[in-house]
Amino acid sequence: MTTTSAQASLGGARRPPRPARSLARRRATERVVNTVLLAAAAVSVLTTFGIVLVLVFETFEFFRVVPFFDFVLGTEWAPLFEPKHFGVLPLVGGTLLVAGIAGLIAMPLGLVIAIYLAEYAGVRTRSIVKPFLEVLAGIPTVVFGYFALTFVTPNLLQPLIPGTDVFNAAAAGIVVGLMVLPLVATISEDAMAAVPRSLREGAFALGATDLEVAVRVVVPAALSGIAASFILAISRAIGETMAVAIAAGSTPVLTLDPTRSIQTMTGYIAQVSLGDTPQQSLEFRTIFAVGMTLFVMTLALNVVSQLFVRRFRNVYQ
């Protein structure tokens, strides 16, 4: 094989090389390659369709028994006990409470970290801080859950606010906030790093201080990226499961009190799908209805983030 190809290339120096294979074979190969690549791409599309189809079908079956408005507007969630109630609001409320607390932690802190890294930190500081952010992003979520349950609640929250439940929304929200913090910090920092140096120079030339340049020029110019990082972080916080399943509790109550035990949508789904609820039962179908609600919420957030990016994108020449 090697000898023939060597001879062929030697011969090719003098006269045009003969095609190694016929045109028909080459076309056949291209068709096969094309099909394989298409199939690979199709996997992702089909998976998405499959999941959405199952969700829609099971949700539809669920709503044949439970009236839609009882589900969407109901304030009591007790699908597993008599008398049954299918009001999803306590789960939505629990999710939003945890995501809100997470946002309160991750957004300001992440933005400050991003400003520091993009505008203040020297090369060496950056090279130390950034890997730590990546390590934080790589910690398994189950570890965050136990961190909330065994450290945040007993050592921080309970001494500070006596009467805090063992399982509570605050601890879950705090660790989810820490979990999505690297997301906010890195995406925001990327957005700020993309702001042209000429804008900073323009502001410095007017006698602006480092802080004025960062807050009045760089942050507004990077607003679309920063907003996108916020929305992505909230979206991830809403979908986060393991930490909240461990730390937030499993008491679906509609409350704004973060010291109480609550249940989130993801926590409920995890609880039921791991439990012994018989499949095909109405109780089991609740997790598809809740999953559908979750899906609609995160989809809406992603759409909003796209709109935001488009609305605020500044075109630099």
Instruction: Quote the least distance from Cβ 311 to other proteins, whole Å.
Output: 13
Residue numbers of the site for other proteins (CB under 8 A)? Answer: 123, 196, 198-209, 212, 216-217, 220-221, 314-317
Q: Which amino acid is at 45?
A: V
Residue closer to other proteins (CB basis): 212 or 257: 212
Nearer to other proteins, 50 or 220 (CB): 220
Q: How far apart are CA 150 and CA 89, in angstroms?
A: 29
Strand partners, 86: 77
Cα separation, 212 vs 185, in Å, equals: 20
Cβ neighbours of 96 (radius 10 Å): 20
- As measured in angstroms, the least distance from the Cβ of 251 to other proteins is 48
- In angstroms, the CA 56 to CA 293 distance is 11
Query: Residue 57 CB, nearest distance to other proteins (Å)?
Result: 47
> For the stretch 202-234, what's the b/e string if a residue is b when 16 or more beta carbons lie within 10 angstroms of its beta carbon?
ebeeeebeeeebbeebbbebbbbbbbbbbbbbb
**C-alpha–C-alpha distance, residues 221 and 214, integer Å:** 10
- With respect to other proteins, which residue has the nearer C-beta, 31 or 216? 216
- Tell me the residue type at 188: S
* Closer by beta carbon to other proteins, 4 or else 317: 317
Torsion of CA 105, 110, 112, 116, to 10 degrees: 150
- Cα–Cα distance, 121 to 141 (Å, whole number): 29
* Least distance between other proteins and beta carbon 207 (Å): 3
Q: Which is nearer to other proteins, 188 or 261 (CB)?
A: 188
Identity of the residue, 155 or 209, whose beta carbon is nearer to other proteins in the bound complex: 209
Q: How far separated are the first and last CA of the chain, in Å rounded?
A: 54
Q: 74: which 2 tokens?
A: 């109901």
87 CB neighbour count, 10 Å cutoff: 21
Task: Report the nearest approach of other proteins to the CB of residue 111 (Å).
Answer: 18
Considering only CA atoms, which of 169, 160, 179 is closest in space to residue 267?
169
Q: Which is nearer to other proteins, 8 or 206 (CB)?
A: 206
CB of 202 to other proteins, least distance (A): 4
Sequence-distant (≥ 6) Cβ neighbours of residue 112 within 8 angstroms? none
Q: How far is the CB of 316 from other proteins (least distance, A)?
A: 8
Nearer to other proteins, 207 or 278 (CB): 207
Smallest distance, Å, CB 116 to other proteins? Answer: 17
Determine the Cα–Cα distance for residues 63 and 221; give it in Å rounded to an integer: 46
